[in-house]
Amino acid sequence: MHSNWNLVADIGGTNARFAAYVCDDANITYEFHHAVSEYPQFDQVLKVLMADIAVTLGGWCPPQRVCFAVACPVDNNLIRFTNSHWHFSRGQIIAAFNCQNVSLINDFQALAHGITELADGDFRQIGRGVCRADKPSVVLGAGTGLGVAALIPHVGGYQVIDSEGGHVDFAPVGDMQVEVLRYLLTRHQRVSLERLLSGPGLLNIYAALSSIHSRQHALSSPSEVVEQAFDGSNSIAAATLDLFCEVLGSTAGNLALTYGARGGVYIAGGIVPRFADYFFASQFRQFFESKGRFASYLEPIPTYLVTHTNLGILGATKHLTAQDAT
């Protein structure tokens, strides 16, 4: 039985990924994945997780430390997920695992930690630009929702700035985006970026473009939109992905201007890697740079698509190791 191990997690609106890594055995890591929709209550998935870990580690003993990266604000003791039915408290985690050393961080705070650990094969550059290691970086990504964080380097390390930047107002660029905004305002009191840049956002864009072009709303899942855009069978689906990439490019450019992110802008999350080749052929980079008088400021800033499949777990683990160093 292993007695020196840590537990980390990356918990979003759709997937909950956990990893137990054994500190005294060459840092071996065991991963566990659960779908949020399968568990009405958060404590139910904890019970299953604990049983699985006990079997894997040859018996149960409490972890030394716990770090959960969660898709919601973490300022309060009660954690309520923005895009799922789950909720729990810090005290509940302490009691469940009999561990006093519990860290709760925002999921994109974890992703920002994670980009510092990426190997060369874990990302692909989009367009031109050269990274400045002494300048801030930004990570944003679409999944069940939209997340944003920044990483600010300083002497001896870096500081992660977590945010709720996915919930800022959507600012349309061009006539078609204005029409999409008008459509969405008939269904939502306020239209945030997350209303477009997320899995549900793909469906929102698809519904808006279908209505604008007087077409039937025939698709009901983001995967259908992606598949029919790929195979060329649905022009509205293709237009949906095009507009998604354009809005993502504009948003990434806005964040690069906001943070002075000459250290690079990283696109993460579960949505874009599903249509990576389409994304690379899109207008993302053009919309990233299209900032009028500040186009020349953005041209040398590199943009990357993260292809590492467990960036949140990587970042939550880095958060724990960073604690060791302080």
Question: Which domains are delineated in the chain?
Answer: 5-111+311-325 (3.30.420.40), 122-307 (3.40.367.20)
What is the structure's pLDDT at 28?
73
* Confidence (pTM): 0.94
What is the structure's pLDDT at 22?
86
Give the torsion through C-alpha atoms of 195, 196, 198, 201, to 10 deg: 80
What is the structure's pLDDT at 138?
98
What is the structure's pLDDT at 188?
96
Please give the Cα distance from 175 to 173 (Å, whole number).
7
Give the torsion through C-alpha atoms of 66, 83, 74, 139, to 10 deg: 90
Cβ density class 283-299: b for 16+ within 10 Å, e for less: ebbebbbbbeeeeeebe
What is the structure's pLDDT at 107?
94
Letter for the amino acid at 195? R
Count of CB atoms situated within 10 Å of the CB of 195: 24
Q: Return averaged pLDDT per consecutive 10 residues of the chain, 326 residues in all.
A: 86 94 74 95 95 91 94 89 93 93 94 94 94 96 95 93 95 97 97 97 97 90 94 94 98 98 96 95 97 97 96 92 63
Residue 220 is given by DSSP the state -
What is the structure's pLDDT at 47?
95
